[in-house]
Structure formats: C-alpha cells, structure tokens
Amino acid sequence: MSQPRVAGAPDRKPSHRLPVAIILCTLFAISLAAPPAAAVNGVILDQQLDAEGKGYTVLHVWGSHQEMGYAHAYLLAEHIVAQHHQLVDLLGSGYDTVRQAMDAASWSPGMPVFLEDELNGMVEALAERYPDEEIDNLDLKVINGYGDWSYPPACRSHSCWGQFVEDPVRTLSTRRLDFGNPFPQINHHVLCAWEPNYTGMAWVGLAWPGYVVGITTLNSFGTQASLHDYNSTAGVPPADGLLRTAAARYITSNPYLSSSISNHLDQCWDALEEIDAWTGSFINYFVPEGYGGVITCSRDQGFYDVRTPQFSYFGGDVLLTANAWTDGTYTPAGAEFMADYYDLGGIKDLESHWSLMGTGGLHKMSVEYRDREDMTIWVQGRLDPGLTPRLEYEWNELFGSNDGPIIVTGPGPAYDNPTSVRLYTASPDPILVDQFAAYYAPHYGANVTTGQADVFENIITGAGPGDIYGPHVRVFDPNGAPVTYLSFMAYGTHKWGVNVAAGDIDNEWGEEIITGPGPGAVFGPHVRAFHDGGGTGAFPVEGVNFMAYGTHKWGVNVAAGDIDGDGWAEIVTGAGPGAVFGPHVRGWNYIFNGNPKRVDPIPGVSFMAYGTNKFGVEVTCGDVDGDGIDEIVTGPGPGAIFSAHVRGWNCDGGQVTPIPGLSFFAWPPGEARYGAEVFAKADLNDDGRADIVVGGGPDPNLGSPVRVFEYDGQQATLWFSFEAYPEGWTHGTKVAAGRLLPMSLR
Ligand SMILES: [Ca+2]
Ligand SMILES: [Ca+2]
Ligand SMILES: [Ca+2]
Ligand SMILES: [Ca+2]
C-alpha cells in the first residue's frame, strides 16, 4: 500500500472522471427505451401511485432552472401527459381559449426569468419521452395556470410563533388547500424539492406533476406561501396581468431576498405593488417569527394591500387566513375555529397544528420551523377516495442527498448482448435514467454490483463470461463516469470474465471488491479481494486469496454481508456452475487483525441451498428481515431445468436455517429456467428491510426480466417487475441495486 487511505470523504470528486458525453458515445444502438439525452438532475425519493396514477411522488431536482424542469418532467412524463389530456377533455372546445389566455398573461414581469427556463426544460424532456404528444410551453402553462383559470373555493391557513411555541421551535405554519376532484391527476400529489445551483434559493412546492408555479410552497428561510380565493373571478383579467400562482412562486424563491427575514415581506411587496394581477387572491406570505403577512390582489386593483400581524390580535403572534377580509385585528369569517384554537392559549405543537385543519382539503402542509434549512415538513393529499399517508420529512432529507433508490442491470451472458449497464428508478413502472457501456468489447453482457469502492457509492462491473474476455473489474460513478484508477484484471490472463461483490470486510474505510473467476472449465474457485489504495489504484487485500471449494473448477460466485452481526462483512460463496457441483454455500471470515491476515471458513455456514441440484448456486447478502444482521439469499445455478426458486437463510448463532416464508418462485416454474440472479443488499423503499431483486437466469429463451420482491417477515410479495433491455436481448439479467445518484454530480 503506497499511500495512506483517505480518512474523510472529500466534498467533490477529483477531476479524473471522463465527461459523460464520451461515455455516451460508446453506447450501442438500441431500439427501445432510449436513455435521456441530457443529464437527469433529479431523483424520485418516494412514490406511491395506483393504476390510475393517483397517489403521491416526492422528488428532488437540482441544477440550472432548465435542468430542474427537464428532470422534473423526465421523471414524471407520463403523468404530465395524462394531465394534459385530462385538461383537454375537461376544457373541451374552450382549451384553445385558455391557451390564449395563458399566453397573454404575464408569468414574470420584471422578475428574474426562471419559470420559462423550467418550462422549456420540461418541453425538452417530454419531447424525448413522448415525442408524438408534441406538448409545448403553452400546454404546460395551461397546466400551471389551473389555480388561476380555475380557483380554490375555501382554503385555510394559520401560523404562530412567540408565546405559542417553545424552543427549539420558532414558528408553526399550516396551509390547507381546498379543491374538488375535477380531473384524476389532481389526486397525484407532488412534493418537489427544487435546488437551483447558482441562482435562486432552494424551495419546496406541493402541487401536481409539471408545476413550477406556487400553490403551496416553502423556502429555505421557513417561509410558507400559499393562495386563498379572494374575488378571484371578479373583473376582467388585465392583459399582461401577473398570475397569482406565478407571484406566489416568485416571492417564495426570489433569488434576491436578503439574508435577514425581517426584510422579506417588504422586498416582495416592493416588487409586486402596483403590478397588474390576472387573478384576485390572498397570497399568504408566512415568513417565520411574525415577519410575514397577507398580500391581496384583484383584477381591478392589482396587488393593492398587505396586512401584517397586529399586536391587538393574540399579541401579534398569530396570522390566520380564510377566504374573507380582515385587517388583522379581527378574525375573518370562516376562520373562527382557528381563533378558538389560539384562544385556548398555551404552547402549540406540530401535531395539534396539523390536526386542527382536518382532512377535508385536497392537500395540506404543516411546517415546524426551527432555523434556516432546519424544519420538519408534514404533507398529506386527498385521494379519490381516501388520503395519502402523512409524508414526514426533514428539510435535509429532501435536499441533503441526491441519491435515490435505483435498480442496476447488466445484460445476461448472450454472445450478442453488449455490456450496457442500465439504471432504473426503483418504483413501479421504472424509468430508465442512465445507461453506459461497461466494456468496449460488445459481447456477453456484464456482471454488476454496488458498493462504496471509492468515496461514494459506486457501480462495480465484472466482464461477462466470454471465452476471450479477461477478468476485468471496473468501477463507475452512478453517472457512468469510470473511476479510472479502479480498473484491473483480478486473475491476470484468465478468461471467462469475473464475478463481483462488495462489502466492508476489514472494518475500515469503504467496501472491498470481492472477486470470483468466471465459469471457465479450468478455473478454480479462487476468491480474492481488492480495495482502493487512496486514489492510486486497486490493491489486493492482504490475506484474501483462497479456494472456496478445493479443486472445483468453473469459478465461484461471491457475495458479502455482515451475517454474524459483528459490524463488518463476511464473504459468502456459492459454487460455480459446473454440471456436477452441488448448490454449496459457504461463509468465510476475514481475520484482518490476524498475524498473518487470513480467511477462515465459518464452521456453521456450509450448506446445500437446493438439495441435490447441480450447477452451483447464486448468492447475495442483505438484511431482508430488518434485524440489523444480514441474511443470505440464494438463487439456483444455471441448470437448464431449474426454475427461479429464491430462498433466504438466517445465520444466527452460527447455524443456518431457512427463513420462514422466504422461499418463492420469482416466476412460475417453467416460465424462466436456468436458475435466477439475486441481489438483496439494498433497502429500496425505506422500510428497514432489504428488498430482493431477482434477474432471470441465463435462459436462451428468456428476455431480460427483473422482478423486485418485498419480504415483510412473513412472506415475499412482488413489488414490481420490468424488462431491462429491448426485445431480442436474451439470457436473463444481471442485477444489483442501491441508493445511487443518477447522472449528474454537483
Ligand atoms: Ca473496508
Ligand atoms: Ca460480520
Ligand atoms: Ca437480518
Ligand atoms: Ca425494503
């Protein structure tokens, strides 16, 4: 080891990465599901939708305004298209009239132009994903203008601070939006965290697919902005009048807001005062700690009034808004129940704030503000019928990381399969967000796994089992950029590719790459491990160099996981696919503090996963039952008659026992043969249990299916499935998964 290991992760990666464009140039022509033309600067953090597209999506987008719009629409394309059709249906012959009205309205007079950039990014993404739809900027303005050309009849909002809160809470704000269910996508609630990289400020919008305007918003200063109906249809929209939803968005993310919240209301009022308004409204501008107010606009008078908290009303520590007038010294009609709540006095908490507003609205957002970018955000939306779960986020969970649950696939080992690694969102109807070629030689697919090989989570590939392909291991960032110094031949001049896994076997910085030779008839079950030598190369891990099955040949399958709960990973092996080899799983301890360092077999972990089957066994490790200790999950080896029988194994107390209920056929017996590929290292839906990703075995009659299962402690159920590659790609699918950052680095 020539250099000390890097102790702390740098904020940014060194500049040894190749531009994405170069990688994309090596792509092979494909006929279906083309990867995005531009970086998708976004991840879906959570999503639950029914067959009609009702439910919720939580996503984070970042970059320039154009890039954020592109990412938002790329990830939600089918729902934006659906909404567009629903509005066309809803408006009928009036659609063109509304289009013209939205064209005539003003979206950002004298303000930094960002809405247009975002909308143009969306147009670009939709043109890529749904070229036949020809959705343009004005179609998106019809969607975004819904809150103006229609209007919410009975919203409520309240905010309190001072006497009503207790350290560390400094302000509580809640907004309830009321609409009917005029079209199905109104029941698709989208919580989008927008993070401009050089202009503007981070903000959160609660609305629907394709929205860049403000319906219910929150900025990094803790200001919650929202709209209430107030004479919204009275008068004639002035030519060039500013949409109230665009105004709400502007005052939320105004890039010129000062660092002191005490000025924000004045700054925004200065910008809006005397501008014409397309729609009448109360715009709640609930800046924390009493610095906010309610701005009023109408079609006749433009933005004409701003009210602020009044000392005579709850000591100036409360703002509340209904859809009726007040100057702030008395309770507006319809808000009496909120006044009753404050009449009780005492300290208010998020739960009571939230509960007060009931469940009658279309959506609701409560915010517990403690400091800038230090907030708890609760959100709920109405379905038709029912409600979404209450979504609970800390500000930093929405913005803190750019990773999302991703399924990684490699093509199966057909001669005609290129080495295209693909990244899909881990969600029903997975979206292809990235693709790159792992190797220049275009055959036999690629083996894949995930792990932190350098300072961030990586995709690690092993060459497919071509009889001329060396045991070439490569490491990539999730955007497809290779980590150039982590590229090596694990077994010198061997051929038939290489199997890969990753795990922290030495209880020290990062995960080691565990390798096993590919299925060459002459290769022994030779397990090795490699790690990042402080940015200078991949170095063998001292003492990990053993034959897992004596004189067996046909290589060896590898996995790693903390199956004994001591805090670091063990190596788990599965016999290679020799026609005479049983499905023998073994466990191995790396004695990293030994002298010499060595690997010892774990006495209790040595079993046949499928009785007297032959052709070896596929292995993976992960905490599938959520007890904090990893289990072993197996798939049968590639015997022509073996179905995709997935089994789980507990190694508690040095004994291996089958996990109750974790024994299932990923496909009906006979539908997919040649065993199954398995990966169970990643918890994709944040329920504390690793999910089980199954890829089809190398069946020459099989395409490239992937199925993802959830195990709830009792049984495994299918969560979603998809075909990873175009028609004609056969021999199944190599699979991995993780919380990864697709495409773009910040
Ligand atoms: Ca390590
Ligand atoms: Ca362990
Ligand atoms: Ca476990
Ligand atoms: Ca899970």
Strands annotated E in 564-703: 570-575, 584-591, 598-608, 617-622, 631-636, 645-650, 657-665, 676-679, 692-696
CA 568 – ligand 2 centroid, Å: 4
534: left (phi over 0), alpha (psi -120 to 50) or beta: left
What is the 8-class DSSP label of residue 583? -
Measured CA distances, 237 to 106, 276, 305 (Å): 11, 9, 18
| C-alpha of residue 631 to centroid of ligand 3, in Å | 5
DSSP 687-711: SSS--EEEEE-S-TT---EEEEEEE
Helix, strand or coil, per DSSP, at residue 110: coil
Query: 429: CA distance to ligand 2 center in Å?
Result: 36
Give the length of the chain.
746
DSSP β-bridge partners for residue 589: 600
Token pair of 635, please? 């798939």
Residue 140 is predicted with a pLDDT of 98
Please tell me the distance from the alpha carbon of residue 292 to that of residue 269, in angstroms, as a whole number: 11
| Contacts (Cβ under 8 Å, ≥6 apart) of 9 | 455, 456
**CA triple 624-626-630, angle to 5 deg:** 55
Q: What is the pLDDT of residue 43?
A: 87
Distance CA 50, CA 54 (A): 5
- C-alpha 610 – ligand 3 centre gap (Å): 21
Q: CA torsion angle for 262, 268, 271, 272 (degrees, to 10)?
A: -140
| Phi, psi dihedrals of residue 456, rounded to the nearest 5° | -130, 175
**Residues, beta carbon < 5 Å, ion ligand 3:** 623, 625, 627, 629, 631
How many angstroms separate the alpha carbon of residue 569 from the centre of ligand 2?
4
Calculate how far, in angstroms, residue 506's C-alpha sits from the geometric centre of ligand 1: 5
Instruction: Tell me the residues surrounding ligand 2 (ion) with CB < 5 Å.
Output: 562, 564, 566, 568, 570
What's residue 455's pLDDT?
A: 81
Give the C-alpha distances (Å, rounded to integers) separating 540 from 512, 513, 526, 545, 691.
9, 9, 13, 9, 31
CB 171 within 8 A of CB 369: yes
Query: How far is the centre of ligand 3, averaged over its atoms, from the C-alpha of 679 (Å)?
Result: 14
| d(CA 391, ligand 3 centre) in Å | 26
Distance of CA 712 to the CA centre of its chain: 22
Q: Are 328 and 309 within 8 A, CB to CB?
A: yes
**pLDDT digits over 160-174, tens only?**
999 999 999 999 999
Chain mean position to CA 563: 28
Backbone φ and ψ of 125, nearest 5°: -65, -40
From the CA of 453, the nearest ligand is 1
The bound ligand whose nearest atom lies closest to the alpha carbon of 628 is 3
Could you give the C-alpha distances from 730 to 311, 416, 695, 733, in angstroms and in order? 73, 9, 12, 8
Beta bridge partners of 374: 371
The pLDDT score that the predictor gives to residue 259 is: 87
Ligand with the closest atom to the CA of 509: 1
From ligand 4's centre to the CA of 713, what distance in Å? 11
φ/ψ of residue 79, rounded to 5 = -80, -35
How far apart (Å, rounded) are the C-alpha atoms in residues 244 and 150? 12
Task: Output the CA angle 46-52-54, nearest 5 degrees.
Answer: 40
The CA 559 to ligand 2 mean position distance, Å, reads 13
Low pLDDT (below 70) residues in the chain? 1-33, 152-153, 198-200, 400-402, 741-746
Q: At what angle do helices 95-104 and 77-91 cross, to 10 degrees?
A: 110
CA 388 to chain centre: 18
Q: Which amino acid does the sequence have at 272?
A: L
Measured in angstroms, how far is the CA atom of residue 736 from the centroid of ligand 3? 18
Separation in Å, CA 653 to CA 507, 564, 624: 21, 8, 17
For residue 629, report the distance from its CA to the centre of ligand 2, in Å: 8
CA 501 / ligand 4 centre spacing (Å): 20
**Nearest ligand, CA 568:** 2
All residues with CB under 5 Å from ion ligand 4: 683, 685, 687, 689, 691
Report CA 643 to chain centroid distance, whole Å.
32
How many angstroms does the Cα of residue 507 sit away from the middle of ligand 1? 5
CA distance 185 to 286: 28
> For residue 561, how far is its CA from the centre of ligand 2 (angstroms)?
7
Positive or negative: CA dihedral 669, 670, 674, 679: negative
In this structure, what DSSP letter does residue 589 have? Answer: E
128: which 2 tokens? 């890529």
- Å from CA of 565 to ligand 3 middle: 9
Residue 530 Cα to ligand 1 middle (Å)? 10
Asked if residues 199 and 112 have their Cβ atoms less than 8 Å apart, the reply is yes
Q: How far is CA 13 from CA 39, 358, 436, 484, 625, in A?
A: 18, 47, 19, 12, 35
Instruction: Name every residue whose Cβ is closer than 8 Å to that of residue 508 and which is 6 or more positions away in sequence.
Output: 5, 592
Dihedral (CA of 91, 79, 180, 207) sign: negative
First vs last Cα of the chain: how many Å apart?
A: 31
The ligand that comes nearest to the alpha carbon of residue 504 is 1
pLDDT at residue number 475: 97
Q: Which two tokens stand for residue 520?
A: 């060459």
Ligand nearest to the CA of residue 589, numbered in listed order: 2
The predicted-structure confidence for 529-581, as pLDDT tens digits, reads as follows 999 988 899 999 999 999 999 988 899 999 999 999 999 999 999 999 998 88
Phi and psi dihedrals of 266, rounded to 5? -60, -45
CA of 557 to the centre of ligand 2 (A): 19
**Which ligand sits nearest to residue 562's alpha carbon?**
2
Alpha-carbon distance of 281 to 485, in angstroms, equals 59
